[in-house]
Structure 1
Amino acid sequence: MDNHYAIIAPCFNENEIIIQFLHSLEDTLQNLPYHFTVVVVNDCSTDNTADLLAKFSFGAKNMNLDPISLRVNLGHQGAIYQGLLYAKSLDVEKFIVMDSDGEDDPHAILSLLVHREADVVHVVRGKRNEGLFFKVAYFFYKAIFKAITHRDMNFGNFCMINRRVLEAATHSSFIHFAAFLSKVRGSHDYITFDRLKRLGGQSKMKTTGLVYHAFKSLTEYAEDLLMLFLKLFIVLTTAFVGLIGYIFYQKLFTDNAILGWASTMSVGLFNTALISIGFYVIGIILLNISHYRNTTLREPLYDKLAHRFEHHYK
């Protein structure tokens, strides 16, 4: 339905934070002329998150809570995928993905709804609340990502997609949702909102988590990354062959002494070339493993969470 939206929000051990998040959604959306099905994906939490979700109900008539629980902990990106997989069965044409810890501003949804014609609407991240070191690391991550992929990564998972994009995401799977979306062909719109402070205090994303997250985003561009290493190998190999030819020429056809730097540089270039081709081969192996992993995770790994309060829209 054109006036029915699904909101997919993964959570893990959020406790009372998930209830605060749902109330903030309700405060923002309750007076809109649209219906919203909120699919909270409980990523196999070990606290009382599931119990809190089972007891919660929206007071707004245009909102319906539809929680699911994963059978195993799949992590943030895996939870988003399973949420999309579940939302695929809903009679909805537009799907909003956002975090449930309060950092994604619910008021951004009001702006997302204005861009209903686009295939993907990204919420570009404005100001962040992390420390200086994290911000610097994030700046370099974006610079490296753009250098390799020639695309800007100034947005996260917070977005709105149509059913065509959802079908593509659930069919091919993904390791990094935002990086996957950056490759999607179609119309892309962008809105900018500042990141809010996490409802429960400090953000869970640490610098080490950012590094791991960065590698996952580049995995979505594995072919580009592997081609970069292959080109580097070709360039270094060409330089190595040229340098060896120069050394032989100097030795056989001139009286010039062979300088020590020449042999040292040739060895260095050769070692670098070996490292580059090694990365290329390892990358191909990891790409195949990643593809196998993605295909095995396409099956539903969730159960409907027993929920006493539901609104059904026709």
Structure 2
Amino acid sequence: MIITGDDVDGISTLKASLHHTFEMKDLGSLSYFLDLEVISSDDGIYLSQTKYAFDLLARVGITNSRTESTSLEPNLVGGLVYLTVTRPDFAYPFHVLIQFLLAPRTTHYAAVLRILRYIKGTLFHGLYFSAHSSLSLQAYSDADWAGDPTDRRSTTGYCLFLGDALISWRAKKQTFTARSSTEAEYRALADTTAEVISVRWLLADLGAPQSSPTDVLCDNRSAIQIAHNDVFHERTKHIEIDCHFVRQRILIDAIRLIAVGTLDQTADIFTKAHHPTRFQTLLSKLKLVSLAPT
């Protein structure tokens, strides 16, 4: 059991009560749990899965293999599911690879090896949560229109930040084939809005309610215009439910749509493969840090 909070006396009383009822041992401050490594300081908390990643490498015997500068190839990507808990740079590779699990081929195995080599070069990457970060929520929403060459379905990507801390992200193939980039972007916007609403509710329950609308940054101006327009044209009727859902959240000041340039679209890392330079730029926007042991 993990006990958290700032009420020292309350925590002591709870531990004494639990110890009286159950056989238990106080292991002190959290440092390792479910393959998650936790380093705490007065400035914040660092989460990583270094040991878990190293064990994966040892299992396949590539601890001395060469490394890679990016986790994926432009035309074929792969990923490892549990590492996405602290490694958002694996979200899109895992999203693609999982589609081939029932009938993998040699190329998919090669993709996995590439990812493992990338892991070897980034073992100490993890998420950092600053104790001095603001509690203002912000989101990025993006889509890669018809990016899958097998069925031409689009990929939704979004990420949410609480202050400077990345707290939620996703890469997901859309259910239906979008007939335009605007449709793909709007479906992504609806998914992002749903996640924002859920996180706003959670923050309110935790005593950190959002006093202003959550900024949702989108790089498709047509999608933003549709969200603010209560007249649905023929070309938007097939996504009318999503349109109403997003617009209603705008009207109640839950979200506020903001246009962002494609180069500044942080969620782009969750929708497609990128070459090393662009990949590293996007990675820096996610605020991943590398903290090697001292």
* Length-normalised TM-score, structure 1: 0.25
Higher relative contact order (CA 8 A, sep 6+): 1
* Length-normalised TM-score, structure 2: 0.26
